[in-house]
Amino acid sequence: MNELASGSNAQGGGGRGIARPRQEKLCYTVPEAAELLRVSRNQGYELVHRGVIPVIMLGNRMRVPRVKFHEKFGYFPESEA
């Protein structure tokens, strides 16, 4: 049985056998942004509260816009260079 027929695929098709191309995230979570900056999760939230890391609110969730993050910190992964 192949991957699509079994309903499990590594691309994250939701288990429905739908192959989707991998897309870059539009936003990071605060812990993901902190990891990219090599600081702790708590330090990441502190940087958010001080206005150092840009965030948008989606309901009650904080998200870090990927493009603004990379512009501010001058960090561009190889796929964007």
CA 76 to each of CA 4, 66, 68, 70: distance values in angstroms, whole numbers, following the listed order: 33, 10, 11, 6
Tell me what pLDDT residue 77 has: 62
* pTM above threshold 0.75: no
Name the β-bridge partners of 58: 61
Q: Residue 56: how many CB atoms within 10 A of its CB?
A: 11
Q: How many CA atoms lie within 13 A of 52 on its CB side?
A: 12
pLDDT in tens, 33-65: 999 999 999 999 999 999 999 999 999 999 999
Question: What's the whole-number average pLDDT of the chain?
Answer: 81
CATH T-level assignment (fold) for domain 23-81:
Molybdopterin biosynthesis moea protein, domain 2 (3.90.105)
How far apart are alpha carbons 77 and 81 in whole angstroms? 6
